[in-house]
Amino acid sequence: MIAALRRRYGASPWHLIAHAAAIAIAVYAVSRVLHPRYSRGLNVVVWLLAGAVLHDFVFAPALAVADRLVRALPARFVNYVRFPAVVSGAMLLVYWPLIFVRADGNYVRATGRHVEGFATRWLSITAGLFLASALVYAARAAGRGPAARRPRARPAGTRPGGPGHDRR
């Protein structure tokens, strides 16, 4: 009987029990939030799913396109652009509500001060990161000398790049 279940279900009975239990607990947890005192309609369910959907179908593809644009640069520059862009981008992703001043009223009520200077500081950090990256590139290029700047041999076992969709 277990063998028949395994064949029809596609995994061991433990797999089914564990997943069923997890899904039951998850549904219970979400139902606790759905009380009208704590949420309006299904807003919390929308938020629970929207993050995954937006990430998978908007954010991640946008990131892949951005990386493809960076890869269109001469190969020796690519990672010197990626590093400052990714570090700065992560800060923007986390702190955009402060950088774009999305909740000044709440900030004033909490702290007694206005949201000020976050955009300037983020732009300064970004400029500093790109500058630092350019200096590291220049220092390494000078250290290697002109001979080492020739394109390197392609590692064995890989195909030439071409117009790949996703070639990080």
Partner 1 sequence: MKAPPGPARETFWRSPLRGPWLTTALGSLLLPLVLVVAATGFVSNAAYQPALGHNALIPPGGPRPFGFGWPSSPSWLYALNQGLHVTVGIVAVPLLLAKLWSVAPRLFAWPPLRSPAHAIERLSILALVGSAIFELGTGILNVQLYYPWHFNFVVAHYFGAWVFVVALTVHVAVKLPTIRRAWRERGALARLRAGLDDTRPEPYEPGGLAPPRPAAPTISRRGLLALVGSASGGLLIVTAGQSIGGPLRRLALLAPRGQSIVGTGPNGFPVNKTAATAGIGHGDVGPAWRLGVAGRDRLALSREELLAMEQHEEDLPIACVEGWSTTQRWSGVRLRDLAARAGVTGQTVLRVESLQARGVLRRATLGPDQHGDARALLALRVNGADLSLDHGYPARVIVPALPGVHCTKWVASLTWEAA
C-alpha 140/C-alpha 146 separation (Å) is 11
Residue of the chain from 58, 62, 65, 103 that contacts partner 1 (CB under 8 A): 103
Nearest to 129 by CA among 101, 90, 93, 95: 90
Q: Is 131 in the site for partner 1 (CB under 8 A)?
A: no
The residue count for binding partner 1 (CB under 8 A) is: 88
Sites for partner 1 among residues 34-93 (CB under 8 A): 35, 37-41, 43-44, 47-49, 51-52, 55-56, 60, 63, 71, 75, 78-79, 82-83, 86-91, 93
C-alpha 159/C-alpha 34 separation (Å) is 52
Q: Is 132 in the site for partner 1 (CB under 8 A)?
A: no
When the beta carbons of 1 and 38 are compared against partner 1, the nearer one is 38
When the beta carbons of 73 and 138 are compared against partner 1, the nearer one is 73
When the beta carbons of 36 and 145 are compared against partner 1, the nearer one is 36
* DSSP-derived 3-state class of residue 42: coil
- How many residues does the structure list for the chain? 168
CB-CB contact of 80 with 137 (8 Å): yes
